[in-house]
Structure 1
Amino acid sequence: MGLHRILLAFIVAALPATAQEVTFLPHDDARAAIGRLLFYDPILSGNRNISCGTCHHHDTFSADALSLGIGEGGAGIGAKRNAGQGDDAIRKRVPRHAPALWNVGAVEFTHFFHDGRVSRSDSYGNGWDSPAEEWLPPGLPNLLAVQAIFPLVAQFEMAGNPRENEVAGAVHDRMDYAWPILAKRVRTIPAYGAMFVDAFDDVYEAADVTIAHVGVALADFMNVEWRSLDAPWDAWVAGDADALTPAQDRGRSLFFGGAGCSTCHSGPLLTDHGFHAIGLPPFGPGRTRRFDPMPRDVGRMSETDDLNDAYRFRTPSLRNVALTAPYGHNGAYPTLEGIVRHHLDPAGSLASWTREDAALPDAPWLAAIDFVIQDDEREMARVAGKLDIAPVPLTDGDVADLVAFLHALTGGDSRYGRLGRPDRVPSGLPVDR
C-alpha cells in the first residue's frame, strides 16, 4: 500500500461514522405510497390550495429556493412562486426558510424545525415535546410523524386565516381541533380510504383513519424519498482516493481542519444536531411570541425560555447543500460562498449584508415589515453580541476550496428522490408543477 493510501486510511479512521452506519426509522412501502400522494395533495390545507410539496418540491430538491416561504395564498413553486393577488394574497411571509428534507428519517435526528420545537420528551406524558403539548394526538410512533402534522395547522403555511375555512377556525380555538377535520377530509375520499385499509393493520374501515395515520404515511414517504448518501464524499470516505477533485480535497482538509467547520457540521449527515448563534442578518416578520414588541426571531429561546439559547438555531445537515440555496434559517445568503464567508467573519458579514441578498417574492403590502428589524439598533446589537463562532482568517482561494468541498456533498441519482412527484392525487385537486 502506498504512503498516500496509508495516510488516507488513517484520516478516514479518524473521521465520524460513515454513511453506511446511518440508521433510518422503519417504514412500510404501502404507507409511503399513500404519503407520496398526500404530500402533494392540497386536500391537507385549509383552503385546499397548497400542499407539503409546494414548499418541498422535487424540482427544488425538497426545499423552495426562497429566503422566507410563501405559504397559503401564494401561487407557483420555487423561485417563481408569487405572493398571490387580491383577497387570496398572503397576509404574512412564513417567518423562516423552508428546510430541505434530506435524510430526515434518520434516527439520529432529535429535534425538528429551526428552533427544535418538536423533540423527544416526557414533559407532557406522551413521549414528545411539541406545540400541541398534552393535546398531541395519540398514535404517532416517531419524531418524524409528529413533525409531519404541524405544518398542516400553521396559519400562514397551510391552514389559512380564521373565518376562511373550518380548519383555520378550529386552529384559532386550539390546534388539535383541526386535525380531525383534515383526517375526515382524507378518509372520505374513497381511494384514500381503501388504501389506508390495505396499508394499516388497525384500520378496518375508512372511518378508522385518524390524523396519526396521515402523519405516519407522510413520515414514511419522507423517510424513503429523501435519502441521499451517495455523494463523491461518501466514495472518498469509503476509500476511493480519486473521488474528490484537488480543490474539493483541499476544501475537505480545511473543513475538518483549520476552518473549524466540523466543530458543528460533524458525523455522516454533517450536523451535530445542536443549536448555535451565528449572527445571521435578521429580516422578515420574525417568529414572534405574544409579547414581542418587534418582528424578531430569538430562535431556540422561544421554546426553552432560556436566555442562553437566544438567537441559536438548529445546525442543518449539509447533505445536498449545493442544491438547496438560499442559506441560513431565514435564507439570508443566496450562495454557498456567501454563507461560508459569513461563518468565517460573522460580525463583519452581519454589518455588510445588503437587503438585495434576500430572495423575497414581491409583496408591496408587506414592504413596511420586511426589513424594519434592520433599523432597530438595539435588536441588531443583540444579534451581533450573541455569537458562538469566532472569525477564521482564510484566503479567497481557501473559500473557493471550501465551496468546492460542499459541492462534493451532492448526491448522485438520489438527489431526484425515489418515487417522485405524482401526476395526480385522489382528491382531484391540482398538483404543483
Structure 2
Amino acid sequence: MSRLADSSKAASLCCVVSLTVLTMLGMIFAHATSVTPRDEHLATLRQAYARPATEWPAPWLDADVAFVELGKLNLPSSPSSHEQRRVALGARLFHDTLLSAGNDLACSTCHDERHGWSSGMPTAPGHALARGRRNPPSLHNVALRPYLAWDGRGSSLAAQSLAPLTISEEMANKDLDSVLARLHADTDYAARFAEVYGAGSISADKLADALVAFQTRLETETRFERFAAGDPNALTDQELWGLHLFRTKARCINCHFGPLLTDDRFHNLKISFFGEKAQDLGRYQVTHLADDVGRFRTPSLRHVGQTAPYMHNGLFPTLEGVINLYDRGGGEVWARNKSEAANPLYPFATHLSSHIRPLGLSDQEKAALASFLRTL
C-alpha cells in the first residue's frame, strides 16, 4: 500500500476507489506480480477499472509529471462536402509518385497505412535508394502534436509536409516550383485544385493545405478507448493486467499519458550511440543546447502495435524489445577512448532521463504489458 499512497501524494490525485479494493490491489499487485494473478485477483482488478477513469487506482508518478489520465481522443467531426473534396485531393497527392523527382516515391512510401503510417522498416528508401538515419514517425494524430520529427525540428505540419519534397535523399526535387509545374501540367490535378480552392495557380500553400487535410483524418478509435468508455469486454484479463502495470510498476505512465499517450517532451534513453558511426544526438541538432544531447521526442503510443520497428532509428523490431530496454533501465553510453571522454558533450550524452530506472518485470508481466500496448 505504501507505494500506491506515495504515488497518490506525488500526483496530487484524489483516489476514491473503495478502501477494500485499493488495499487488495496494493497487496496483490504492488509487490506480488511476478507470477500471473489468480482469477479472483483479476476480478478485483477488473472491479477497480470498471469505475470511471477518475476513480482508477492511483498511478505511480514522479513528482514533476504534469499527468493527465488516459482516455478517449476526440476525433474530428464528419467532414462537409467541401472538406471531403479537400481530403480526397490530399489523399491522392499523398499516394502519388508525381511528387518525387524520379516519379518513383510518394509520401506513402515512407508512411504506409499498412504499417500504422510508418514504413515497417528501420529506415525507408529514398531517392536513388538513399537511406536516412531515422525511422519514419507514424502520422497518427500528427496534426495534434506541438513538435514534429524525432528531434522536434518541425512545428508546422504544413511546412513539414512539404519538406521531404526537396530533400536530396528523399524525394529529391530541386525546388518546390518544379513540383508545382508538374501538377499544373496535369489537367486532372488542375481541375481538382480549382474545385477545392477556386480559380488560380496551384501554389505551395494549396499543396500543403491538401496534404494537411488528409493527415488530419488518419486517426481511428482504439480498443482501449472502447474499454475506457465503458465496454468491459474490450480488454482481456491479460490486457487489463497490462493496463495496471502500464500505470504502476512499469512506469510507462510517466511519459505516456492523456488521450495522445505522450508528454510531448524530449528524453535521453542513452541510445544515441555517442561516438559511434550510428551516432545521433537528437534534439541537440535543433537547439544546440548541451542538455539536449541524446534526447528524442516522446512518441504517441496510439496504434503502437502497428508501427514496428521502434525508436528513432528502428532499433527494436518488436514491442518486447522495447519493454526489455525499459526494464533494464535504458541503454548504454560509454567512452571508448580518452578523446571521446574529453568531448564536452560526452557527460550530457550519459544523462539518463530521470523517469528511467530498472523495473524488475517478470516474463509474465512483460507479456501482459505487451498485450495491453497492442490495444492502444
Which whole-Å CA distance do the structure 2 matches of 1:383 and 1:96 have between them? Answer: 21
SS at match of 1:66: coil
Deviation at 1:403, TM superposition (A): 0.4
Aligned to 1:49: 104
Change (3 A) 1:335 1:381: farther
SS at match of 1:94: coil
Of the candidates 38, 54, 72, which is equivalent to residue 19 of structure 1?
72
Q: Deviations over 1:47-94 (max 9, x none)?
A: 2221111111233331111112221123xxxxxxxxxxxxxxx3xx21
Change (3 A) 1:25 1:264: farther
Of the candidates 320, 331, 336, which is equivalent to residue 314 of structure 2?
331
Q: Is the 8 A contact 1:25 1:105 kept in 2?
A: no
Of the candidates 62, 66, 70, which is equivalent to residue 125 of structure 2?
70
Which whole-Å CA distance do the structure 2 matches of 1:29 and 1:283 have between them? Answer: 47
SS at match of 1:112: coil
SS at match of 1:96: coil
Aligned to 1:154: 167
The question of 1:112 aligning with 2:134 is answered: no
Letter of the structure 1 residue corresponding to residue 146 of structure 2: T
Q: Is the 8 A contact 1:280 1:328 kept in 2?
A: no
SS at match of 2:127: coil
Letter of the structure 1 residue corresponding to residue 92 of structure 2: L
Which whole-Å CA distance do the structure 1 matches of 2:190 and 2:285 have between them? Answer: 39
Q: Is the 8 A contact 1:344 1:392 kept in 2?
A: yes
Q: Deviations over 1:272-301 (max 9, x none)?
A: 1111111226399x9xxxxxxx66311111
Q: Deviations over 1:359-396 (max 9, x none)?
A: xxxxxxxxxxxxxx9xx965896686121022222111
Letter of the structure 1 residue corresponding to residue 54 of structure 2: A
> Aligned ranges for residues 79-94 of structure 1 at < 5 Å?
90=130, 93-94=131-132
Which whole-Å CA distance do the structure 1 matches of 2:116 and 2:255 have between them? Answer: 23
Which whole-Å CA distance do the structure 2 matches of 1:222 and 1:318 have between them? Answer: 17
Aligned to 2:360: 393
Which whole-Å CA distance do the structure 2 matches of 1:382 and 1:25 have between them? Answer: 51
Change (3 A) 1:58 1:233: same
Q: Deviations over 1:229-248 (max 9, x none)?
A: 2x221111011222211111
Which whole-Å CA distance do the structure 2 matches of 1:295 and 1:147 have between them? Answer: 24
SS at match of 2:209: helix
Q: Is the 8 A contact 1:24 1:105 kept in 2?
A: no
Which whole-Å CA distance do the structure 2 matches of 1:408 and 1:283 have between them? Answer: 34
Q: Is the 8 A contact 2:255 2:263 kept in 1?
A: yes
Letter of the structure 2 residue corresponding to residue 331 of structure 1: G
Of the candidates 177, 181, 195, which is equivalent to residue 180 of structure 1?
177
Letter of the structure 2 residue corresponding to residue 56 of structure 1: H
Q: Is the 8 A contact 1:228 1:319 kept in 2?
A: no
The question of 1:211 aligning with 2:184 is answered: no
Q: Is the 8 A contact 1:49 1:73 kept in 2?
A: no
Aligned to 1:305: 288
Structure 1 stretches lacking a partner, 5+ long: 75-89, 120-142, 160-166, 169-177, 287-293, 352-372, 410-433
Deviation at 1:185, TM superposition (A): 1.6
SS at match of 1:157: coil
Aligned to 2:12: none
> Aligned ranges for residues 175-324 of structure 1 at < 5 Å?
178-200=175-197, 203-205=198-200, 208-224=201-217, 226-229=218-221, 231-280=222-271, 282=273, 296-324=279-307
Deviation at 1:400, TM superposition (A): 0.9
Letter of the structure 1 residue corresponding to residue 199 of structure 2: Y
Aligned to 1:408: 375
CA RMSD of aligned residues (A): 3.0
Change (3 A) 1:283 1:212: farther
Aligned to 2:34: none
Percent of pairs with identical residues: 33
Q: TM-score, normalised by structure 1?
A: 0.66
Letter of the structure 2 residue corresponding to residue 98 of structure 1: P
Change (3 A) 1:72 1:383: farther
Which whole-Å CA distance do the structure 2 matches of 1:339 and 1:267 have between them? Answer: 21
Q: TM-score, normalised by structure 2?
A: 0.75
Which whole-Å CA distance do the structure 1 matches of 2:308 and 2:205 have between them? Answer: 32
Letter of the structure 2 residue corresponding to residue 147 of structure 1: Q
Q: Is the 8 A contact 1:272 1:315 kept in 2?
A: yes
Aligned to 2:37: none
Change (3 A) 1:102 1:297: same
Which whole-Å CA distance do the structure 1 matches of 2:357 and 2:138 have between them? Answer: 27
Letter of the structure 1 residue corresponding to residue 359 of structure 2: V
Moved more, 400-409 or 59-68: 59-68
Change (3 A) 1:337 1:241: same
Q: Is the 8 A contact 1:114 1:314 kept in 2?
A: yes
Change (3 A) 1:24 1:110: farther
Change (3 A) 1:335 1:320: same
Letter of the structure 1 residue corresponding to residue 118 of structure 2: A
Which whole-Å CA distance do the structure 1 matches of 2:77 and 2:265 have between them? Answer: 19
Q: Is the 8 A contact 2:272 2:282 kept in 1?
A: no
Moved more, 265-274 or 2-11: 2-11
Moved more, 57-66 or 109-118: 57-66
Change (3 A) 1:302 1:105: same
Aligned to 1:172: none
Which whole-Å CA distance do the structure 2 matches of 1:45 and 1:190 have between them? Answer: 18
